[in-house]
Amino acid sequence: MSELDAFRHEIRSWLEENCPAEMRRPVTSESDACWGGRNYTFQSEAQRQWMERCAARGFTVPMWPTEYGGAGLSAEQAKVLREEMARINARSPLSSFGIWMLGPALLHFGTHEQKLHYLQPIARGEIRWCQGYSEPGSGSDLVSLQTFGEDRGDHWVVNGQKIWTSYADKADWIFCLVRTDKANKYQGISFLLFDMASEGVTTRPIRLISGASPFCETFFDNVKVPKDQIVGEVNRGWDVAKYLLGHEREMISATGGGERATSLGAELTRQGIELDPVLRAQVALYDVDALAFAAMSEKFSDEARSGRAHPAQPNMMKYAGTELNKRKHELTMMAGGTAALEWESEASGGGARSRGWLRTKANSIEGGTSEIMLNVIAKRILDLPGA
Amino acid sequence: MSELDAFRHEIRSWLEENCPAEMRRPVTSESDACWGGRNYTFQSEAQRQWMERCAARGFTVPMWPTEYGGAGLSAEQAKVLREEMARINARSPLSSFGIWMLGPALLHFGTHEQKLHYLQPIARGEIRWCQGYSEPGSGSDLVSLQTFGEDRGDHWVVNGQKIWTSYADKADWIFCLVRTDKANKYQGISFLLFDMASEGVTTRPIRLISGASPFCETFFDNVKVPKDQIVGEVNRGWDVAKYLLGHEREMISATGGGERATSLGAELTRQGIELDPVLRAQVALYDVDALAFAAMSEKFSDEARSGRAHPAQPNMMKYAGTELNKRKHELTMMAGGTAALEWESEASGGGARSRGWLRTKANSIEGGTSEIMLNVIAKRILDLPGA
Amino acid sequence: MPLYHTDDQAMLADTVRTFMAEQGGIKSQLRHWRDTECPDGFGHGLWRQFAELGLNGILVPEADGGLGMGHVEAGIVLAEIGRNLTPSPFLTTAVMGATALAAASDELKGRWLPGVLDGNAVLAVAIDEGTKHDPQRIALKAERAGKGFRLSGTKSCVIHGASADCLIVAARTSGDDRDADGMTLLAVPKDVAGVRHDRIRLVDSAMASHVTFDNVELDGSAVIGAVDGGREVLNRIVAAGRVGVSSELVGVASGAFGITTAYLQTRKQFDRLIGEFQALQHRAAHLYSEIEIAHAAAYKAQQLLDAGSPDAELMVSVAKAKASSAANLAVREGVQMHGGVGMTDEFDIGLYMKRERALTEFMGDGNYHAGRVAELSGY
Amino acid sequence: MPLYHTDDQAMLADTVRTFMAEQGGIKSQLRHWRDTECPDGFGHGLWRQFAELGLNGILVPEADGGLGMGHVEAGIVLAEIGRNLTPSPFLTTAVMGATALAAASDELKGRWLPGVLDGNAVLAVAIDEGTKHDPQRIALKAERAGKGFRLSGTKSCVIHGASADCLIVAARTSGDDRDADGMTLLAVPKDVAGVRHDRIRLVDSAMASHVTFDNVELDGSAVIGAVDGGREVLNRIVAAGRVGVSSELVGVASGAFGITTAYLQTRKQFDRLIGEFQALQHRAAHLYSEIEIAHAAAYKAQQLLDAGSPDAELMVSVAKAKASSAANLAVREGVQMHGGVGMTDEFDIGLYMKRERALTEFMGDGNYHAGRVAELSGY
């Protein structure tokens, strides 16, 4: 038996023993996932157990070093773990911006002390993080952000406003882009960390056109942030942000690619929907594009894993994938007719179809608009002038 | 009987007597039309007669003043003439850039002497004109034109190159935009007239992707142009050009509107073509757009005639109309299948369908590209900033 | 007839636009009735103000106390309803309902027209029984019972159904579901026994209901037009509804476009107004062109309908299809060009998106009407 | 298998790309054979050079003297043919013809394979009888006559038909026109009596012919596969053709896109490179994305076909539809972005437009294949 096979064997037994039956069903919504944090209410004892058992083995962050709460697995081993978890439909033990976003930034830019201090609580689901990037005046043009941290010697005093901070109302800490030099646009931003319970922090949830959302507006009124709560150097936070943005787009585009492409027309037919001839044609043309994009996702993922992908290619994947998803939901609404217009009824699952359709409209805005993606393709891939 | 009825009566009798039977059939191609000029070979005696009889009555340019070769008709009278000619399918007696383009410019900007000198020969079909605007480096950016007229006291010496000069190889004279001041972009262009038989003028026909074309490249090598052969003031030729460009776009968009909108699907069905279900859907969606555009053409034409149209609206009409026409021909090619691919065969009328399809690709380029039209709409109608 | 407003029409348009801007605005009407969870989804006060302006009788002959105008004029009103996203029973009552009543007996007119004209009554029209518009298929049964009829069956997603004082119902009195003949129009008062409304709020906050008819007894006077011969009147109701909703969609498109171009002229990113970016300019210019064309198509269809032209049916389908696609583009571009804030309930652009979807579905979506264009053109 | 080239495939791609850039260019091949009005529409010299490189045997098993490679490798060659617009009998001979011969008797192989492999023979495939691709309908009659067959009927627009030394013909030996069974594939040599070619030059300067079979006598050895049982082999030929032309279309799209972006980087208007205009940048970036996706789809389809996957048929239709639409967009944008000069024969972009049209039509256009995707997906 190869070493990897032995590892697989070990994992399989461990999962068999430790993954509660309730945790072997797919997560059905964001609130169904396990988010952890100081004030988190577990949905069930099984959910708590599963998170804690994984955390104890380092399996909430399998590839992080053991000293930071990970399991120190190699890429192959991590893949085995994923495969074995998928085999029994095991849920992810912990959903966390700390794991997805801050962790990679700290691992890359943090000091040893910071890693020791911040990563363990993330891995154990003890501290829940949120991300403070966008501001009302700084969306696509993120670098124009105005939230200001005034230098007061051993601390900054932060004033300003963030928007689109997911779960700001539930998070314990925030990683936040703050201007620390007004004279220097790119090199005047710092990447600060602070407690959301600090005096002067308030949040307000944002209601979307699709209904309630995890997004918040977050306000900072003279928030005190000690000088050691910074990732990377002062005024060099943009480097950290860029690193994470690339990471995020790759994640978003990878997510799209992961799903097995299915035929929308077949799915609608399974739902008993009869397609008008013109709509049938549109669905067929959509299916062509969707199945072709599935091939593209597979190709991109193969290329990315083997280091063959153009570094700007995630921008193309995000652009094409999100535009496709919006189109799919438009077609689904047309196919559903008046039934798809229902907003609150029980029959419609509380308007699941119409709310889902509206939610997709954000796909081509969040994480970089389609326009920004096209700009980046024009500049970095096509090498067009002045782009 | 009203005065207009009397006029109609008079016109009807005159046409009855003077319009030869052969001239009561529609023109089938550009070469079938009567173009006149010094070297023109009439297609038939009837064609010559019809042109000369009309010219004698001023009916080649019915609304021009009689002293310039017109009939001095009012708008209502001219409409009666058009209606009565249409009633018997009478052809236009004379096709001419002199009538369509130079005439309006001279009537608006010319001196009395120039009008007397140039307009009569145009009206009588004695001098055929061509238009020298575009240059290889100056297409959309027409004002950057480089053909230069050097001031030599009583004349200019013109050097340079024009492109897209329709029928330059058949024309007697040219009206031509020439730079006469290199320091001043807009106010450094003059609108010159000169004989194509002048020493130093050569032309070369342009072969298009659709085959032979009336377009030429035209070269000027030290062409001498007397100082009185200018329309408007020196260095103010751009005003004349702008006036004519507006005129041209209006004409193009009006032409589109004149045709009665028909269903493409019905036409293809009449041709015995069975439509694939997806193509049927695309044709139906096209027909929706085409029939809606026909309503728009009617509305625009009604508004333009009553002075209600936005002055930049012809740009919208040109944009929408030409894009629609290109789409129509794409669909026609799809419907025709391999039969539509034939390029030279007798069965295909010498590749009429494929050549016609390719020719439409110029629609959204000539007379102002779609991109320029969209720029103008953004700026002049939508008032978007910095457009 | 030229395709621009007569002086009278221009005056009407001015009046309605001013009135609606003052009284029919998004905040005071749509958001108000939505946020207070009004079970009607619209305000009766505004409906009576419509009546005071005479708008409720716009399609009612002068002899019957109305203004005796046509679909062009009704379209003027509906465009402003669309632009302001005003929830209103105008389309179902004053356009479709009034078209039905025009074919009704004096007794029915006497019973329902006064309420329509003074804004105290609301009508709704119950045609479709499935999730997609299909007036060719009428299955709801109306069996003869004594001198009247007994109704059994369902109607799906009837706009303003539960709020309506009277439902105009297309019922099958003989033949098969898809027969053109054998269909009868019936006026069903609100209070009659056996009618059940399952109220549903739609994505655009309009209220509709699924209606169940459980042995509903009606007497013979409920019939509009001839027994078994309701198809022609239904066609007129349907045409009025389709062209009316086309104008409303053009209004929705114009409203969405207006707030979007305003946003382009004020929002800055990268130290420039986003309206300076050529990619957005070109998309905005294209959208402008689409909306203009949709407007012309609706206008032309209304003229043809008012003139009783045989080409009207085709052009009505063209108008509905084109208005749907133009409005759809307008709201999609609108949300995207607004960026993140366009996704929030705080901004209005999302409300336009919701209304567009509902109106596009109502009386046949773009694909349905493209299919109709093909059929009417013989392919 | 990952969706990127193995080292061997990458080497093949390099070789072919270099060779084609040197020998297969637009000026030396397409324009040359077009302007000299070559009745074949392609050059036999280049065809023999293909043979010298071994490319003609790319799909021929090693046992039969070929390279024994797959559709992925054939696609590499076809992409370069597309990029250079090279007129070549590669697709009909080395891809479709070779696929047919793989199912043929040793006698037929012995007769035709050597010529294919050394570049002295050309094959053509005659399937369709109408103006639109429809391999389900085979009406051309092959009646039994002695030990052989007598053929009567027509085949429409056979690419390289008159140039081919052997035509692979799908004929009806029993049943009705649209029956899957009862179809037989026959190898018809050039010199057999009763075959008439009406040569036609197509828009892209390729030569095709309408072929009339007037009581053409063939002996039984002409049969490829089983009598009445040719459908399965035909399906393989058709799949090979479709996925092959998909790669060629991706090559056409890339070639057109390449010269267009180069133009954007050099042409100035309004004192700026036109590639600086954001509206054009966004359209170019979108087009890039479409071409990349089409490329991936063709690649995936080839892998599935090479692996004998049951999903191959669906993916082949996806590939052909997507490659057609991406290439169509590439040439339309290409001509428009070139402006006036794009309309002249002097520039190459118009040649790409012509080739795209012909290839899109060949083996089923985008709509045909979208319809296939719907059918194969059960709707």
Whether B255 has a pLDDT exceeding 60, the answer reads no
The two tokens of residue A304 are: 């990315």
Catalytic residues of A: 248
Can you give the CATH number for the domain in which D118 is found? Answer: 1.10.540.10
Q: What is the pLDDT of residues C269-281, one digit of tens each?
A: 999 999 999 999 9
Q: State what percent of residues in chain B have pLDDT above 90.
A: 86
Query: pLDDT value at position B244?
Result: 86
Backbone angles phi, psi at B139, to 5 degrees: -105, -90
State the Cα–Cα distance between residues B332 and B335, nearest whole angstrom. Answer: 5
> Which residues on chain A are in Cβ contact (under 8 Å) with C344?
206-209
- Chain B closest-CA separation from residue C319 CA (Å): 7
> Which residues on chain A are in Cβ contact (under 8 Å) with D293?
289, 292-293, 295-296, 320
Q: Quick one: CATH architecture of A3-95?
A: Orthogonal Bundle (1.10)
DSSP secondary structure string for all residues of B296-307? HHHHHHHHHHTT
The two tokens of residue A54 are: 């994984």
Options 2.40.50.140, 2.40.110.10, 3.40.190.10, 3.40.50.300; CATH of A129-236: 2.40.110.10
Q: Are C83 and C168 in contact (CB under 8 A)?
A: no
Query: How far does Cα B227 stand from its chain's mean position?
Result: 28
Start-to-end CA distance of chain A, whole Å, equals 55
The two tokens of residue D339 are: 């402006």
Whether C138 has a pLDDT exceeding 90, the answer reads yes
State the Cα–Cα distance between residues C92 and C126, nearest whole angstrom. Answer: 10
- Chain D closest-CA separation from residue C283 CA (Å): 9
Domain endpoint, select from C229, C262, C294: C229
Q: Flag the least confident range among A26-40, A160-174, B35-49, B216-230.
A: A26-40
CATH 1.20.140.10-classified regions of chain A? 257-381
Q: From residue B13, give the alpha-carbon distance in Å to each of B17, B55, B81, C146.
A: 6, 17, 12, 73
pLDDT, chain C, mean: 97
Quick one: which H or E segment has residue C91?
none
> Which residues on chain B are in Cβ contact (under 8 Å) with A281?
277-278, 280-282
Q: Does residue D2 lie in a domain region?
A: no
D132 and chain B in contact, CB less than 8 A: yes
Q: Are B143 and B238 in contact (CB under 8 A)?
A: yes
Beta-strand pair D166-172/D123-126: parallel
Residue B3: is it exposed, middle or buried by C-beta count within 10 angstroms (0-12/13-18/19+)?
A: exposed
Spell A1-35 as b/e; 16+ CB within 10 A means b. eeeeeebbeebeebbeebbbeebeeeeeeeeebbb
Host domain of residue C200? 125-229
> Is A144 close to C270, i.e. CB distance below 8 A?
yes
Q: Does residue D1 lie in a domain region?
A: no
> Is C336 close to A364, i.e. CB distance below 8 A?
yes
Start-to-end CA distance of chain B, whole Å, equals 55
> Is C354 close to A209, i.e. CB distance below 8 A?
yes
**Count of domains for chain D:** 3
Closest Cα partner for C248 from C23, C43, C60, C92?
A: C92
> Which residues on chain C are in Cβ contact (under 8 Å) with A141?
269-271
Can you give the CATH number for the domain in which C158 is found? Answer: 2.40.110.10
C325 and chain B in contact, CB less than 8 A: yes
Q: From residue D161, give the alpha-carbon distance in Å to each of D188, D205, D303.
A: 11, 14, 30
Query: pLDDT value at position A256?
Result: 41
Q: Are C150 and C182 in contact (CB under 8 A)?
A: no
The two tokens of residue C61 are: 């002959």
B263 and chain C in contact, CB less than 8 A: yes
Q: Does residue C1 lie in a domain region?
A: no
Chosen from A338, A345, A374 to mutate, greatest number of chain C CBs within 10 A:
A338
> Is C277 close to D278, i.e. CB distance below 8 A?
yes
Chosen from B276, B278, B279, B287 to mutate, greatest number of chain A CBs within 10 A:
B278
Q: State what percent of residues in chain A have pLDDT above 70.
A: 96
Name the residue facing C350 among A136, A137, A209 (closest C-beta): A209
D98 and D133 together in one domain: no
State the Cα–Cα distance between residues C365 and C369, nearest whole angstrom. Answer: 6
Q: DSSP secondary-structure letter at C63?
A: G
State the Cα–Cα distance between residues D200 and B351, nearest whole angstrom. Answer: 10
C135 and C204 together in one domain: yes
Q: Flag the least confident range among B59-73, B299-313, C123-137, C178-192.
A: B299-313
Q: Flag the least confident range among A269-273, B247-251, C250-254.
A: B247-251
- Which of helix, strand or coil describes residue B219? strand
Domain endpoint, select from D229, D257, D284: D229
Q: Does residue C80 lie in a domain region?
A: yes
Whether B257 has a pLDDT exceeding 70, the answer reads no
> Do you know the residue count of chain B?
387
Q: DSSP secondary-structure letter at B138?
A: B
C239 and C370 together in one domain: yes
C356: closest chain A residue by CA: A341
The owner of tokens 């990268």 is C270
State the Cα–Cα distance between residues C115 and C122, nearest whole angstrom. Answer: 8
Name the residue facing A208 among C208, C271, C345 (closest C-beta): C345
D344 and D279 together in one domain: yes
State the Cα–Cα distance between residues A325 and B48, nearest whole angstrom. Answer: 65
Q: Does residue D282 lie in a domain region?
A: yes
- Chain B closest-CA separation from residue A285 CA (Å): 9
C268 and chain A in contact, CB less than 8 A: yes
DSSP secondary structure string for all residues of B38-103? TT---S-HHHHHHHHHHHHHTTTSTTS-GGGTS----HHHHHHHHHHHHHTTPPPS---HIIIIIH
Start-to-end CA distance of chain C, whole Å, equals 30
The predicted model gives C63-71 an average pLDDT of 97
CB atoms within 10 A of CB C376: 18
Name the H helices within B102-214: 103-109, 112-114, 120-123
Domain endpoint, select from C81, C100, C122: C122
State the Cα–Cα distance between residues D345 and D350, nearest whole angstrom. Answer: 7
Q: DSSP secondary-structure letter at B292?
A: H
Query: pLDDT value at position A255?
Result: 45
The predicted model gives D116-133 an average pLDDT of 98
Q: Are A357 and A325 in contact (CB under 8 A)?
A: no
Closest Cα partner for C363 from C253, C247, C256?
A: C247
C299 and C197 together in one domain: no
The predicted model gives D140-155 an average pLDDT of 96
Can you give the CATH number for the domain in which D278 is found? Answer: 1.20.140.10
The predicted model gives D56-67 an average pLDDT of 97
> Is C297 close to B319, i.e. CB distance below 8 A?
no
C43 and C79 together in one domain: yes
The two tokens of residue D197 are: 């070619």
Q: Does residue C113 lie in a domain region?
A: yes
Q: What is the ipTM of this complex?
A: 0.95
Chosen from A275, A276, A278 to mutate, greatest number of chain B CBs within 10 A:
A278
> Is A280 close to B281, i.e. CB distance below 8 A?
yes
Radius of gyration of chain A (CA): 22
Q: Are B168 and B139 in contact (CB under 8 A)?
A: no
Closest Cα partner for A36 from A109, A85, A100, A89?
A: A100
Q: From residue C142, give the alpha-carbon distance in Å to each of C165, C187, C188.
A: 20, 12, 12
State the Cα–Cα distance between residues A365 and A317, nearest whole angstrom. Answer: 14
Q: Does residue C2 lie in a domain region?
A: no
Examine the residue annotation and report whether B248 is marked as an active-site residue of this protein: yes
> Which residues on chain A are in Cβ contact (under 8 Å) with D321?
285, 288
State the Cα–Cα distance between residues A241 and A319, nearest whole angstrom. Answer: 20
State the Cα–Cα distance between residues A194 and B293, nearest whole angstrom. Answer: 59
Q: Does residue D161 lie in a domain region?
A: yes
- Please give the model's pTM, rounded to 2 decimal places: 0.95
Whether B28 has a pLDDT exceeding 90, the answer reads no
Q: Are D15 and D58 in contact (CB under 8 A)?
A: no
C370 and chain A in contact, CB less than 8 A: yes
> Which residues on chain A are in Cβ contact (under 8 Å) with B282?
281
The two tokens of residue A342 are: 């229902």
Chains touching C, CB cut-off 8 Å, 3+ pairs? A, B, D
> Do you know the residue count of chain C?
379
Spell B355-385 as b/e; 16+ CB within 10 A means b. bebbbbbbbbbbbbbbbbbbbbbbbebbebb
Q: What angle do CA D80, D84, D89 make, to 5 degrees?
A: 75
Spell A42-76 as b/e; 16+ CB within 10 A means b. beeebbbbbbbbbbebbbbbbebeeebbbbebeee
CATH 2.40.110.10-classified regions of chain A? 129-236
Whether C159 has a pLDDT exceeding 60, the answer reads yes
State the Cα–Cα distance between residues A281 and A289, nearest whole angstrom. Answer: 13
Q: Quick one: CATH architecture of A257-381?
A: Up-down Bundle (1.20)
Q: Which band of pLDDT confidence, cut at 50, 70 and 90, is reported for residue B252?
A: low
D342 and D273 together in one domain: yes
D297 and D316 together in one domain: yes
The two tokens of residue B240 are: 């004349």
B276: closest chain C residue by CA: C379
Quick one: which H or E segment has residue A311?
none
> Is C3 close to B298, i.e. CB distance below 8 A?
yes
Spell A314-331 as b/e; 16+ CB within 10 A means b. bbbbbbbbbbbbbbbbbb
C289 and C347 together in one domain: yes
CB atoms within 10 A of CB A214: 18
CB atoms within 10 A of CB D300: 27
Q: What is the mean pLDDT of each run of 10 residues along chain A (387 residues)?
A: 91 97 88 92 96 97 95 90 92 94 94 96 97 92 95 97 96 98 96 98 97 96 97 96 77 48 92 96 98 95 86 93 96 97 94 96 94 97 89
Query: pLDDT value at position A251?
Result: 61
Q: DSSP secondary-structure letter at A382?
A: S
Q: Are C168 and C126 in contact (CB under 8 A)?
A: yes
- Chain B closest-CA separation from residue C294 CA (Å): 7
> Is D343 close to B278, i.e. CB distance below 8 A?
no
D369: closest chain B residue by CA: B278
C290: closest chain B residue by CA: B320
- Which of helix, strand or coil describes residue A350? coil
> Which residues on chain A are in Cβ contact (under 8 Å) with D365?
none
C16 and C103 together in one domain: yes
